[in-house]
Each structure stands twice: as C-alpha cells, then as structure tokens.
Chains A and B, each alone.
Chain A
Amino acid sequence: MSGLIISGGLVVSGGDATAADVIVDEGIVTAVGPGLEIDDREVIDATDCWVGAGFVDLHTHLREPGQEWKENIESGRDAAAAGGYTAVLAMPNTDPVIDSGYVARQVKRGDGVRVIPSGAITMGRLGERLAHLDELWEAGVKVFTDDGDTVADGGVLRRAMEYIGQLGGLVAQHAEDPGLCAGGHMHEGSVSSRLGMMGLPSVGEEVIVARDLKLVELTGCRYHVQHVSTAGTVELIEAAKRSGLPVTAEVAPHHLALDHGEVSSMDPVFKMYPPLRTPDDVAAVREGLANGVIDCVATDHAPHAAFEKDVPFEEAPRGIIGLETAASIVHMSVGMDPTQFFDRMSHAPRRILGEDGAGVAVGATADLVVFRPEGTWTVENLRSRSNNTPWLDAKLEGVVGATIVGSDTMWRRSG
C-alpha cells in the first residue's frame, strides 16, 4: 500500500485544534491521533503547521467559457490547489452566462479541486427576466448571483428571492447601486477627489444591502452579501443577524489588506469593484471577519491578461487574482487563531453551501490542506494564467505546504 502520513501538525477540526498525525490510505482518512505508525507511507512533515479541511472559495472567476486567454477551468483549479483550496464556486459571468442547466453542467468538474457552478439570477445577467432557475437547481447550483452586476430592480429581486427561496437556494448579491456608482472607477473620497476620478461611494453598496435585507425579511430567502467592503455594510449585516435574518457575508483578502491610498499610484493593478476603501473600512471588515459578523473569506479571483491591464487606470478592466495568495494575505492582515482561521477559510463556506466537512474525520475522503503560518514564500511562477496581483514578487508570510484530495497530493511547497 502507498498511503500518506501528515505528521506532527496541529489538526484543526470543528472548533478544536489538537496535536496529531493524519493517515490517508487509498484516499480515505483512516486515522487521526498522536504518534501514529509511519510504516511505508509517504511522510508530509507538518511540524509547526495547521492541518485541516481544504479551503473553499465562494467567489472565483474561472473565465471559461468565453475568456480562456485570462484563465480556464484547468488553470483555475491548479491555482486553487496552490492556494490550499479544494473547492471553488465558479461565478456565472462567463460567455455564455451560466443561466441554463446546460452551461452549468459544462462548468461542473468533479475530480480533484471541485468546481461548483453558481447560476445567474436573471437571463444574461441583465437584471430583467429570471434565469432557468429550475434547470440550474437540477444541475446542482445552490448559489444564485448576477455577480459583476447588481440585481438593481427591487421587483425582480423580490420574485427571484421568492422563487429561489422555495427551491432552497441562496441569493448572493454584488451590491453596487447603478445610479450612485455610475461612471465610478475607485472609492469616492479624498483620493478620488484629488485624482479627479469619478467614485463609487460607500453608500452605493450600503443602500443595496439595506434594501435587500428588507426583502429577506419579506421573503425569508437565504441571502449572502458578496465582497463586503464598507464599515456601513458590516453594521447592516450585524443588525440583520441580530434580528435573526438568514444572512451571511464574505470579504475579499484585498479589502482586508489595502486601502484607497494605493490608487494614488494610478496603477490599474489596484482597480477592482468594490474598490479599495478607507483605512476605517479596512479596520471594520477585519474586525467583522474576526468576530464572525462576516462569515468567511472569498477571493473574488478575477484574472485579466497583462495587456488588458497595461492601459490607463480608468480604461482597465476591474479585478485582481487571489486564489494563490489569499491564505497568506488573510493570515497577515487579520492574524486569527487556527480554529478561527479554518472556520473563515474552510468551514463557514461549506456551511453556506450546505455541505459537511468542517474538519478532519476518520472514514471521510481526504480533503485537506497543510498551512505553515510562520513560513514565508515569494509570489512568483503563479499557476493562474494571469498575473494581475499587487503582491507579484512580494514576500508573504503563511505557506500552503500541501493540498490533498483523495489519494492525490495536488500541491506541495516547502518554506
């Protein structure tokens, strides 16, 4: 037999973290405990590492079908494995849009890193007519979103919530009021006022979330706020959770780490929607993630080719890649303990998807990541097809040492 032993790490499972080895034989976790026998198994040395269930990203743009020069499903899965992710939720803003069961089935891939399709709420993500919601549901879609655009019409969103709520699905919103944010390229504030660029004000996000929460109250549909970026949104979610609404939220690593001052360089690598906000907003989303008002991290991995970003800021496409750097950036920005860290990166996204796997359980198929919090690495030779990250060539703390699914070790890095 050719099994695997992950030895000497801190195993994070549920709310506990205990020193233990993990044995994986024929793709199944067969033992978890201290001082296990190595026999002839391959050894992954996990000294000073955290070992837990693979990370799950609720916000990945894989660009396939339609924009394969930026990324495709294979390169996106490779990048995910390098970032410690064993499952990604593919956003539906592909060409064609994932608004039918047929397209959803093309995107869904089962082996190794799982690709879970999300489905559009409206046909073509145009915000007008409902997408093929039953077909999408039958194809395995659990999360519905028009991500990249907002379902701006309250009547359309209400009917979507009623329909999707009845199916048992989740409505996720990219919150950006089209009127308030029209023509905007960056956060509206002191920096945009100096640079003379039109801004996306914080209230452009907050008025949509506030309205949507009233519709959640009305319809009872489960609702998820994508890439929370402002202190005001954190407050709205906190109040909604306190009143018992079925609401969850995610935050992107870059919103935990960077603020709008970066845009002073006018470098398009800092262009994304929602935009980088103020230092106060950064502090609020960090606190929200640490205290659980924001349930999880989601990368908003948005690949763009180098030539597409090599233009003036206002003409550049929005978004940065995130899968390969997310764990390091979250670790460096928020500094959570191992159980919190795994909750926000792995367990909470699984709960939002309605899945088990919040830990390392004997008898389950291996779905594991080994993370060395004090290790360092340099951001280079990325597996994504695109390089649009402000951390290119940076030295980061927190190394994804191994990513394992079944009997496949999909990623190893020392350091």
Chain B
Amino acid sequence: MTEKRFYQVGRKPWEWRLKPAGDAERARGRVPGTRRHWLKWRDVHNDKSLKRERVMVDKKPLWWTIGLVLLLFITPFLPNSMISVVSIFCIYAAINILWTLIIGTAGIFSLATLAVVGVSAYIAAAANVYLGVPWPFMLIIGPMAGLIFGAILAAPSTRLDGLYYALLTMGVAEICRVFVVQLRALTASGGAITNVDSFIPEDWFLQRPGLLLGFVGAFLLMLGALLVWRLVNSERLGMLLRVAKTSREDEAFAEAVGIDFRRARLMVFIISSAALGVVGAFYAMYYRSISPQIFSLDQLLLLFAMMVIGGLGRAEGAVVGAAIVTIIDKGLIELGPPRIILVALIMIGVTVFAREGLMGARNQFRDFRNRKAGERRARRTEKGGEAMPEEATEVHDKQELYYRRFNKRLRDKLKDMITPELIAEHQRDPLGHHSDALARVLNFFRRGEMADKYVIHRMKPAEEKFRIMAVSGARGMPPRVVDDREYSDIKEAYHAVFLLRVNDLLES
C-alpha cells in the first residue's frame, strides 16, 4: 500500500520528526544526579495520519555539540598560527560567556571583567614567580583573587545603577592599569611579569605540541565556562533573576513575592568573578607572562564588540561573536588598522539593524516576515473582499469563504452594469417597472446587511420632509444621520439612497 502523500502547505515551519512505532515504550535518559533529560523531546500525534511522532523542541544542544566537536577535531589539522588563533578564540569565548552571565543574567553592566581577569592573573603569576608556588596552585590562587576582587567590585553595584556603574568599573580598570605600570618592582619589564611557569613544558612553548596542549587547555576552559553558564543561568539563581529581569516593576514584583534579587545578583557577580579568576590564571600560564595590556581600553572594547556582534545576553552570541572578531582581528593580522575599523563597522551595522545581535536575527526576521504578511493580507482583504489563501486556512467556516467569493464576483458583474442610463432610469421612476439590469442591481441592494443599511426618515409626521439615515445594525442603538441634506419629495429621497448605495458598491 502506498502511503498517501501530504504536501506541506500552510504557515507552520516544516520540522524534522521521529516516527517511533506505536507500541514502543518511551525511554528517555536523565542527566545523572538530576531529574533533567538530556534533550527536550515532546511526544505528539499527527492529526491527519493519527500516528505517533516525536519532536525535538529545543535544538540548541544539538548545534552546540556539532560546533564544539567540529572545533575539537578540525583544529589539530590546522597550521601553527591558526591553532594559536583558535586557542585565543577559546579564551576570549570563555571570558565573554562569563561576562554575559554578569551583564545578561545578573543585569549588572560591568566593564571591569578584564580587570578581574588581569588582577587575578597578576596575583597568580606573582605567587608563582616571586613565591615559587607551583603552577597547579595558580588555578586555585587565581579564582580566590577573583572572588575577593569581585566581592569588592560588587559592593557598589547595588547602590549605583546602570551606566553609572559601567563608567565606575571603567575607572577601576584604568586604576588597575596605572597601578601596575607604576609598580617599582616591575618597571624594568614595563609592568609585565614574565617567565611564569605553565602547564605547557618550557621546551614545548610555541612548538606544535605545546600549541596543541595549549589549545586543549583553552578548549577545556571554554567548556568549563559553558558549564558555569549552564549551572548559574539555567538553575535556581538564573530562574530567580529572570523574574526581576526587565523593568523596575518586575523588581518590585520579585521583591513582593520574596525573591532577594539583589543578593542573587551579587552571587552571580561573585561566582562569575571567581570563574574569571581561573581564566586569569590560565591566561598568565598560556602566554607564560602577563602585561598591563590586559587592562587597556582597546582590549576591553574588542571583547565588548564580540558580545555585541553576537548578541548581548546570550551564550551562543558570546561564542559566535568571539569567533567572528577573533578571526578578523588575529587571522587577518596583515591588514593592519583597517581590520579594527572593519570590526567597528560590523558592530555599528549589527547594532543599527539587529535588535539582539546576529544570534537574535532569526527571530527578528520571523517577526518582520509575519508583520509584513499580516499587512499584505489586510491590504488585500480590504481591496478585494475575497479571502486570501493564507487567511483561508484560519477561517473555520468554509461556507463563509464560498459566500465571499460569490459576493465578489457578483459585485464585479454589477459594477459593469451601472451606467448613466441606468441611473437616469432610476431617477425617472424609482419604484416602477425596471429594466433587467436595474432590477438585478436593486435586488443586490435589498440583500445587503442590516448594519449601515440606508433608510429614509420622515422628519415630521404628515409633512413632506425627508432625510437619509443609516441603521446601526445593533439592537437598541439608534440610526445615525448620514448627511444634513433634506428632501421634499419621497422620489428624490429614494434616488438619493440609490446613489449612495451605488457609490458604496463602486467603492467596494
């Protein structure tokens, strides 16, 4: 038996569905230790075929897996310079993901992210170089430094709001830079700490095995940042903060239902700062040195551009933006200053045209398309009166569609019949014997709907004074006067009504 084929007509986007056997049991794995499922499947049944189907509602995990696996397997085959570009991309992506956590989830517009990275990198590197702490402990010292610095930074964030805090943190970054540059112990190296011990053995540094090891480390760092993102944004803290996200009213609401959103924000800020501390320690180890360049405004703006291009407040935006900007900035390095101009132009273009960066472009395009389709439909229904195909799918009573089509054709026919002779004939004799054409037109008018139907009103009993009104069509609502003209002869009034109706017909 051949299966009947259905064409995909209509406005639902086509999507890929599993068709499990009807009697198969449903088996879904859970993430160990939690009650969450790995993927978000939904069981539905098809209205037409009455068969069981399975839809993946959230396809993002799929795209993440594909992207990350591709990155992991393609990188070892790239040339040396590209491997370091990919590693830098991973580090930047990690910083951006954590920054997104601060700006998007916590809603604190902090520009001191790189300052946190830099401070913890400096403290970890100093511990290694001057105190002789072995490198694995840097990964503990870094986050501790980040935690403390983050806690200090977070303190004024509850008092100051929005842009004030942003500019304050920019000032903090500048203070850090000036402080490091002024340190007497570091003046010989221009403020940099060099010869930091690293997880990459010294004789492998800048060699292919060392680069590959560095890449693996950076990749793990990015995965770690994504894990932090997932744990903070999608678990309890993120859910609490989503209540108080958009506006001041939401904050009041959150407070009223007992959510201490300020504390939750501080928690997110401090957790991300600690995670940024890990990034800082890694950064110092990856380059085997750390310089005041990390506090500079240019570097900060470059990272900010990444987030803006990808879309502020989204993890995938942070990663995609980092990829685009790193490829332009580090991959096309022979271009010179124009590549930064290119980044800036992309940033401006994305901000002018896209509401939420490149990653939000799909939704924005869908909204745009739906709006345009709606506008077009409205225009066409208004003009023709006949239902358009895409509207027809939404009208439940199909009889209505056929009536509209009939009515439209009838009106088109009647419009052709209306001639000056016909109008003259009606004026001559509104009630008497009519020609075939006039009789058809009048019959159509008689069938008209009650709402807005014209009627003649005798203004005073036993007096020949008429005017034209239109009934409201609703019970209890009085008719309204159409115009202020008065007619002394009933035949004149009949003809005036006829002219109004002809006018309406021709305009429809």
Is this pair of chains taken from one and the same complex? no
Residues of chain A touching chain B, judged by Cβ–Cβ distance below 8 Å, are none
